Structure formats: C-alpha cells, structure tokens
Amino acid sequence: MAQIDDALRKLVTERAAGLCEYCQAAQLIVVYMEIDHIIPRSQGGSSEPDNLCFSCRGCNGYKQDYVSGIDAQTNTEHPLFNPRTQAWNDHFEWADDGILLKAKTAVGRVTIERLRMNRDDVLSARNLWVQAGWHPPIRGRFPTR
Ligand SMILES: [Zn+2]
C-alpha cells in the first residue's frame, strides 16, 4: 500500500479517537492533524495501519525521520514512543496542573525531547485548554472528523 487513501485515513483517525497519539492534542482544537509513519518511509516503513498513527503537525514535524533519541539522563539511545506497540500511559503522564507532560520512562523522555512536546506554544495552548475544561483529554470526548 503506497498511499494513504480516505478509508485508511478514517481508520487511523477513529482508532486515535481524534487525539494526537503523541501529545494527545485534540483534532478539534489543533486544526492541523497528519498521518505519521512511525517508521519513516525513508527507512522502509510501510503505509500499513500498524505503521501509522494520528499526529498533530507539531509532533509530526519535529519527529521528522527520527526513530530514536539520546536520553540526557542516562546518555543512552532509546527508540521513540510507538503508539502501535506501546501504551501511552506507560511512558507519559500529565503533571498535576495538566499542562506539563512528564515522562515515566527513557522512551518517554526521548520522545518528549525529540518531538518538543512541551514547547512554549504548546504549553500556552494547554493552559487555555485546561481553563476551558478540554484538557487533559478524555478519550472519546471529541468527535472525529
Ligand atoms: Zn502532538
């Protein structure tokens, strides 16, 4: 499968419940969502559903063709979070204020760093989303489109 057609896009979007599978930003708040190849096509990654995830443009843009990162805490290389084979809650958690994303593992740390999941503009946006009661997201709360 070389292309992501409408049916595949719908599958990926609905499977993610309309949330970025990295930073959990909701499609209805963050307008620009993309389909990410978890293993990039440039590294032989397929366009099959098990190599695709729903991602906001920010996470996907910073991810580029990376599949790993160096953990500053241990100075060792770790793969980026894979939403198809790993559970988000095993690697990430929200700080008490719901704004800062915290890592629970080295995989979480390298993914937050590589995808800049706590960049200033996102923190500002999350602050507003928390005030609006939209964040942290509840899966299934936001309709997919
Ligand atoms: Zn994201």
Distance 76 CA to ligand 1 centre (A): 24
Distance 75 CA to ligand 1 centre (A): 25
Distance 144 CA to ligand 1 centre (A): 16
Distance 57 CA to ligand 1 centre (A): 7
Domain boundaries, the chain: 6-132
pLDDT at 142: 63
Strand extents, DSSP E, the chain? 33-37, 52-56, 68-71, 76-79, 92-94, 101-103
pLDDT digits (tens, 9 = 90+) for 71-125: 999 999 999 999 999 999 999 999 999 999 999 999 999 999 999 999 998 899 8
Instruction: Find, among 22, 44, 48, 46, the residue nearest to 34 by Cα.
Output: 22
Distance 35 CA to ligand 1 centre (A): 11
pTM of the entire structure?
Answer: 0.89
Query: Which band of pLDDT confidence, cut at 50, 70 and 90, is reported for residue 141?
Result: low
Distance 129 CA to ligand 1 centre (A): 14
Distance 122 CA to ligand 1 centre (A): 9
Q: What is the mean pLDDT of the chain?
A: 91
